Amino acid sequence: MITVDPKSIALQFNEYITNADLNGLSNLMTGDHIFIDTSNNRIKGKDNNIVQAWQPFFDLYPGYRNIFENIVVRGSTVIMQGYSICSNEILNNIHAIWVAEIIKNKVGSWHIYADTKANRELFDL
């Protein structure tokens, strides 16, 4: 297997989010992928994530995308700091920290944290 750098994988995953590309997301997730939102809600498993998280999310928030202003790679962990853009005001201009764990060229977890002073300190940002 050719190893792809973790940053490229995380950015490709985000590109699939921007394009609401369920097949792309599915292909880039590990089988036991875990999604964790800012409220610490967790969804485990690739299929569960597609059905319970991403499909409903794309239906509710068309045009959603993340803008990363700072990206730090620490081994297989990619930490992305920035904000979201969305036509729905609920998710427009929300500042966050996204943390992706990359395992064998796939995204093992995608965890979203509120961009707070405590979380910036936690990730040394």
75 contacts 69 by C-beta, under 8 angstroms: no
pLDDT of residue 8: 97
Instruction: Walk along the chain (125 residues) and give the pLDDT tens digit of each residue.
Output: 677 899 999 999 999 999 999 999 999 999 999 999 999 999 999 999 999 999 999 999 999 999 999 999 999 999 999 999 998 887 888 899 999 999 999 999 999 999 999 999 999 99
Within-domain flag for 1? no
pLDDT of residue 2: 73
Within-domain flag for 39? yes
- Which tokens hold the place of 5? 């750098």
Q: Which of 52, 25, 47 is CA-nearest to residue 110?
A: 25
Instruction: Look at the pTM and tell me if it is higher than 0.75.
Output: yes
Within-domain flag for 114? yes
Within-domain flag for 113? yes
Residues in the chain: 125
Rounded to whole angstroms, the Cα distance separating 46 from 61 reads: 20
Within-domain flag for 30? yes
pLDDT of residue 51: 95
3-state helix, strand, coil in the chain (%, to 5): 35, 40, 25
Residues spanned by the domain of 72 = 6-122
> What CATH number is attached to the domain comprising 59?
3.10.450.50
Domains: count for the chain: 1
Within-domain flag for 46? yes
pLDDT of residue 1: 66
Q: Which of 49, 52, 59 is CA-nearest to residue 24?
A: 49
Q: What is the 3-state secondary structure (H, E, C) of 76-106?
A: CEEEEEEEEECCCHHHCCCEEEEEEEEECCE
pLDDT of residue 25: 97
